[in-house]
Amino acid sequence: MTKFDLAVIGSGPGGFAATMRAVDFGKNVCLIEAGHIGGTGIMNGPLTSKTMWELSVDYSIAAAVDRGYRASGLQVDYGMVKKTVIAAAKTKQYQMLSQIETFSPKGNDSGSITYKRGFAKFLDRNTLQIDGENGTETIEAEYIIIATGSRPRELAELPVDQKQIFDSDGLLNLDKFPERMMILGSGIIGCEFAAIFSNFGQTEVHLLDRTHRVIPFEDDDVSDFVSNNLEKNGVIIHHTATLRTVKKEKDHLEVVLDYDDGHSQVVEVDILLVSIGRDANTIGLGLENVAIKPNVKGYLHINEECAIGTFNNCNIFAAGDVTGQKALYGVAEEQGRFIVEAIFGASTYRLDYSYMPTLMFFKPELASVGANEKSLREKKIPYKAAYYSNELVNRAIAMRSTNGFVKIIVSNDGSDKILGMRAAGPQASAFIVSIAYLINSNIRLHDVLQSIHPHPSVTEGIQECIRIFYNQSIYKPKAFPSLIKVTEWNPE
């Protein structure tokens, strides 16, 4: 039986990061993957969907007629879009495979990766059975990390066939843009695909929202901003609607919707995309052989060191979506690195999931970090919030892309601690990191005023938003009440 210092089940962001960090420590690692190298993070998740989003944004800009130019004969072919998306995924996959080969056991006595394709199953706490293309084998490892990710959640009454009824894994099976589609679920993934297909302008997009607002976990002003822009982009949002039935016809689907006010509507579409969340991949791992039982939601319970059990008495860890923490690429990656550092004695910090930045690729892109107003009110934490529109930011004006804002939330206890930020518009996904750094560094708001932003830059909106708290902004709320807003809240 081959023995390893570490075995990693799953090559997604958490598993691959853990593998490479273990190589840094000179450890011999067995990396096991049942599907695509890179997992969902590469082939059926962030990389492919964001590649498609980027292409859709390029197309929508090329199709615009309000910038002084007009592209003639503009066409888009889903087959070519799909080919480009897959090429992007393969670029990253071959980078990963090249690195795996570079650190293969051949010529690497200290720090190596043995890559095995197949399904892994626990036989005991140190032994895994791998069922692969060439049969079954058994390996032994001192430590094991479960990083098997997640899969699209299913509806028992609405089985996915990837022909008329799709989940996010199956959209690349399409050969052409559907004329009409309905998206079931108005969370981040559902809204992202609504933005993508409406950007291309080839599809009538219906978005089913069971509540009064899309992305309901966000503040109402942010949710309204997203839904208003989707509707401007042509998306038909069915608020307070639930799906009653879907009738399959030969060349279309008949969808019956029931609304909170009592009326119903029948909508004819070509495809339906089920986007109601994701479930952890724990089936078939043999967890019963190591006395591990997922919680009621199907996730693996981990402690502060990401160990399943007590760190000092445990050799099995978990990273990524299977842990039930925020289902973000960066979270999985950080967990994978953190686990290896904790195992091999180099951990110098604790994971804090409170300030993990989140990117949402709508139209325009939206970024968030830290608390929002809803969460602070639930916890009865006093706060102040300032909102500054991109319509006042010179760089956004020059880009002819003023649809966006910066919203910063700080404590209202005299300390002016930065609690959170929401931003939308050009480059929001890039500059949210600066606020995440300030939050993690526990820097007070007033100290940030000393920084000077280059001109013209989109981040000048951040600078002005901070100045609002001290009545120092160049443009004043009194002059622009719809573009600059200040709120203050204290518990009763």
Tens digits of residue pLDDT in 181-215: 999 999 999 999 999 999 999 999 999 999 889 99
Query: 419: phi > 0 → left, psi -120 to 50 → alpha, else beta; which?
Result: alpha
Query: 327: phi > 0 → left, psi -120 to 50 → alpha, else beta; which?
Result: beta
Mean of pLDDT values over 288-309: 91
Query: H/E element holding 362?
Result: none
Domain end position, chosen among 327, 353, 379:
353
Contacts of residue 180, defined as CB under 8 A and 6 or more positions apart, other chains included, come to: 203, 204, 206, 252, 268, 269, 270, 271
Residue 386 · residue 469 · CB < 8 Å: yes
| Helices H / strands E in the chain, number of each | 11, 23
Query: H/E element holding 434?
Result: helix 428-440
Q: Has residue 311 got a pLDDT over 60? A: no
Q: Has residue 226 got a pLDDT over 80? A: yes
131 and 18 in a common domain: yes
- Residue type for position 14: G
Angle at alpha carbon of residue 289, lines to 286 and 291, rounded to 5°: 110
pLDDT of residue 173: 92
Q: DSSP for 179-239, please give it.
A: SEEEEE--SHHHHHHHHHHHHHTSSEEEEEESSSSSSTTS-HHHHHHHHHHHHHTT-EEEE
Domain end position, chosen among 353, 384, 415:
353
Q: Is residue 487 part of a domain?
A: no
Q: Give percent of the chain with pLDDT exceeding 90.
A: 82
- Spatial separation of the C-alpha atoms in residues 409 and 448, rounded to whole Å: 14
Domain end position, chosen among 276, 295, 330:
276
> Running DSSP on this structure, what letter comes out for residue 436?
H
Q: Is residue 258 part of a domain?
A: yes
264 and 333 in a common domain: no
Closest C-alpha among 167, 168, 186, 150 to residue 327: 150
pLDDT of residue 312: 61
Mean of pLDDT values over 56-76: 90
Owner of token pair 């002003």: 221
Q: What is the CATH number of the domain that holds 196?
A: 3.50.50.60
Q: Has residue 348 got a pLDDT over 80? A: no
pLDDT of residue 310: 62
Distance of CA 165 to the CA centre of its chain: 23
- Spatial separation of the C-alpha atoms in residues 456 and 78, rounded to whole Å: 37
Q: Is residue 158 part of a domain?
A: no
146 and 284 in a common domain: yes
371 and 329 in a common domain: no
143 and 12 in a common domain: yes
Q: Is residue 488 part of a domain?
A: no
Mean of pLDDT values over 49-71: 92
Residue 204 · residue 268 · CB < 8 Å: no
116 and 46 in a common domain: yes
pLDDT of residue 11: 97
Closest C-alpha among 36, 43, 48 to residue 11: 36
pLDDT of residue 283: 94
Cis check: omega of the bond before 456, within 30 degrees of 0: yes
Residue 146 · residue 316 · CB < 8 Å: yes
What are 353-380's pLDDT values in tens digits?
A: 888 899 999 999 999 999 999 999 999 9
Mean of pLDDT values over 311-328: 88
Helices 13-24 and 329-343, interaxial angle, to 10°? 30
- pLDDT, mean over the chain: 94
Q: What is the CATH number of the domain that holds 418?
A: 3.30.390.30
> Running DSSP on this structure, what letter comes out for residue 406?
E
Q: Is residue 188 part of a domain?
A: yes
- Spatial separation of the C-alpha atoms in residues 45 and 362, rounded to whole Å: 15
Strand partners, 367: 359, 423
Q: Is residue 17 part of a domain?
A: yes
Task: Count how many domains the chain has.
Answer: 3
Q: Has residue 230 got a pLDDT over 60? A: yes
Contacts of residue 73, defined as CB under 8 A and 6 or more positions apart, other chains included, come to: none
What are 116-158's pLDDT values in tens digits?
A: 999 999 999 999 999 998 899 999 999 999 999 999 999 989 9
Closest C-alpha among 152, 149, 154, 171 to residue 36: 149
Q: Has residue 333 got a pLDDT over 80? A: yes
Mean of pLDDT values over 32-55: 94
Q: Is residue 322 part of a domain?
A: yes
454 and 375 in a common domain: yes
Q: Rg for the chain (alpha carbons), in Å? A: 24
More confident position, 228 or 436: 228
Lowest mean pLDDT among 19-33, 308-322, 405-419: 308-322
Q: Is residue 156 part of a domain?
A: no
Lowest mean pLDDT among 62-71, 72-81, 200-209: 62-71
312 and 261 in a common domain: no
Q: Has residue 37 got a pLDDT over 80? A: yes
Confidence band, pLDDT 50/70/90 cuts, at residue 385: very high
Distance of CA 316 to the CA centre of its chain: 26
Residue 327 · residue 278 · CB < 8 Å: yes
426 and 324 in a common domain: no
Residue 420 · residue 352 · CB < 8 Å: no
- Spatial separation of the C-alpha atoms in residues 75 and 60, rounded to whole Å: 11
pLDDT of residue 106: 87
Contacts of residue 8, defined as CB under 8 A and 6 or more positions apart, other chains included, come to: 15, 18, 19, 22, 29, 30, 31, 32, 144, 145, 147
Cis check: omega of the bond before 364, within 30 degrees of 0: yes
Confidence band, pLDDT 50/70/90 cuts, at residue 45: confident
Range of the domain at 425: 364-482
pLDDT of residue 340: 96
305 and 251 in a common domain: no
Q: Has residue 347 got a pLDDT over 80? A: no
Closest C-alpha among 7, 49, 13, 21 to residue 325: 13
16 and 116 in a common domain: yes
178 and 44 in a common domain: no
pLDDT of residue 1: 73
